[in-house]
Chain A
């Protein structure tokens, strides 16, 4: 078992292997993610029941929660990749961080924007400097820093190293984002979905929400693979294996 995992880990570091496998996986993940997003959006927007307190505006939840949830998960996975890059010097980890950072930034932005659109009618304001909103903005700024740093170094290796370090610095912010609503008085409400206990959102609303979360996770998997392939083809365009591959097609 351990040996299989170790083999998989070594293969993961190989550009040709990754390029071949990802090409096969992408169509399936793409179709799956788009259909999940379409189904859950239609379900959430038209068929799930209207909320007793907020009315129809609550339906923003079907975009807001998946976006902010995936933006945090992407950052966690990027910091694992950062540690792998710094310890094992696996180049694929650098590719992973560079490709996933714009996706994470985009979803953090969607989360902030959809939250503001929801906040205006419900709270009475677009933005308030409470702990949850501010720490999410900090997460967004870390993503921007990671993206910006990519192009400030002459060599790819020093860029990947510096970016890995800044990624690890930012990971400490994530538990703060998560726990801010419990630690301090905030305008933002605590979590409605609970994995261990009972969720405080009714099941008819929860099921399309879980589907939309799943859809967005697969969508990130899908775009992540696409972006990583693009990054690999930029880095390896003069390598023998890549030339051979492109001349075959």
Chain B
């Protein structure tokens, strides 16, 4: 490669390096806030301080879902299979919300009861795409 082109190649590499450094520093600075939600284990290790809303995510524990008979109030337990926290919520649930499926709940954390008063429930979909017929056959 000719001398002046080699010099420009170093220039190009320098730009990419500086940009990468900038991105790394930014993500390092906000590393605690990049995660969308805390797992129950995170919440047990470092209970959140202050009165800000937080998000907790994990699986809805099998058999933990309780629905109120006369209102939209529900209670369930979010677990990461190590620790678990109780969640209560009043409102409409997304289609994919069910037991043993991923969920992200936003709300206010109660440190003494290790529970979450949620005002938003989001369902998480996993990366598995299975046809209905196949799933039925597997469950038989």
Co-complex (A, B):
yes
| A residues with CB within 8 A of B | 49-55, 58, 61, 82-83, 86-88, 121-125, 128-131, 165, 168-173, 176, 183-187, 189-192, 200-202, 204-205
Contact A184 B131 (CB under 8 A): no
A88–B5 touching, CB < 8 Å: yes
Contact A121:B128 (CB < 8 A) given known A87-B12, A172-B16, A185-B37: no
Q: Which residues of B contact A192 (CB under 8 A)?
A: 127-129
* B131-A50 in contact (CB<8A): yes
**Which B56-103 residues sit within 8 Å CB-CB of chain A?**
57, 93-97, 101
Residues of A within 8 Å of B37, CB to CB, are 185
Which residues from chain B contact A189 at a C-beta distance below 8 Å?
124-127
Interface size class of B (residues with CB under 8 A): 35 or more
Interface: B114 (CB within 8 A): no
Q: How far is the CB of A53 from chain B (nearest CB, A)?
A: 6
User: Which B residues touch A52, using CB under 8 A?
Assistant: 130-132, 134-136
Do the beta carbons of B95 and A121 come within 8 Å of each other? Answer: yes
A191 touches B127 (CB 8 A): yes
Asked whether any CB of chain A lies closer than 8 Å to the CB of B140, the reply is: no
Chain B residues positioned under 8 Å from A55 (CB to CB): 95
Q: How far is the CB of B133 from chain A (nearest CB, A)?
A: 6
CA distance A204 to B41 in the complex (A): 38
A204 CA to B135 CA, complexed, in Å: 13
| A residues in contact with B38, CB < 8 Å | 185
Q: Are A168 and B12 in contact (CB under 8 A)?
A: yes
A-B contacts at CB below 8 angstroms, number: 125
Assess whether B57 is in contact with A185, with CB atoms less than 8 Å apart.
Answer: yes
Cβ-defined contact, A86 with B11, below 8 A:
yes
13 contacts between A and B (CB under 8 A): A49-B134, A52-B130, A53-B130, A54-B125, A122-B125, A123-B123, A123-B124, A124-B121, A172-B22, A185-B36, A185-B37, A204-B131, A205-B131
| B129 x A122 contact (CB < 8 A) | no
SS class, residues of chain B in contact with chain A: mixed
Please tell me if the beta carbons of B130 and A169 are within 8 angstroms of each other in the complex: no
Q: Does B34 contact A (CB under 8 A)?
A: yes
Asked whether any CB of chain A lies closer than 8 Å to the CB of B23, the reply is yes
The answer, among A49, A131, A171, A185, for a CB contact under 8 Å with B16, is A171
Chain A residues with CB under 8 A of B112: none
| Chain B: CB-nearest residue to A173 | B23
Smallest CB-CB A-B distances: 7 pairs: A124-B94, A49-B131, A52-B135, A201-B129, A130-B36, A185-B35, A169-B19
Least CB separation from B58: chain A residue: A185
**Cβ–Cβ contact B132 & A49, under 8 A:** yes
Q: How far is the CA of A121 from the CA of B126 in the complex (A)?
A: 15
A-contacting residues, B104-140, CB 8 Å = 104, 120-136
CB contacts (< 8 Å) of A173 on chain B: these are 23
Closest partner residue, chain A, to B24 (CB atom) = A172
Q: In this complex, which of B16, B34, B96, B97 has the most chain A Cβ atoms within 10 angstroms of its Cβ?
A: B34
Chain A residues near B36 (CB-CB < 8 A): 128-131, 184-187
Query: CA of A87 to CA of B96 in the docked complex: distance in angstroms?
Result: 51
Cβ contact of B39, chosen from A165, A185, A191, A200, cutoff 8 A: A185
Answer whether residue B20 sits at the interface, using C-beta atoms and an 8 A cutoff.
yes
**In whole angstroms, what is the CA distance A53 to B39 when docked?**
23
With contacts A50-B132, A168-B15, A171-B16 known, is A187 near B96, CB below 8 A? no
